[in-house]
Amino acid sequence: MHASVGDHLVVMGQHVGDHVREAEIIEVSHPDGTPPYLVRWSDSDHESLVFPGPDAHIEPASH
């Protein structure tokens, strides 16, 4: 997984009925764009450090 600042991290729910969560990537720790990422969650404005799992994907900022 590779991302840049401004991209969006989308985390799919693992169970039927779970919410999809989306966050803006505000800091990338490694120059090659690999995790972890500092993100700001759209549903709460909370910032957290994330190591995305297989249920997550990146949407480039241009979308």
Task: Give the pLDDT confidence of 3-53 residue by residue, as tens digits.
Answer: 999 999 999 977 777 789 999 999 999 999 999 999 999 999 999 999 999
Classify residue 2: in a domain, yes or no: no
Asked whether residue 32 is domain-assigned, the answer is: yes
Domain range for 24 is 8-52
Indicate whether 60 belongs to any domain. no
Give the total number of structural domains in the chain: 1
Sequence-distant contacts of 26-31: CB under 8 A, at least 24 apart:
28/3, 28/4
Q: What is the pTM of this model?
A: 0.86
Tell me whether residue 42 is in a domain. Answer: yes
Partnered with residue 48 across adjacent β-strands are: 39
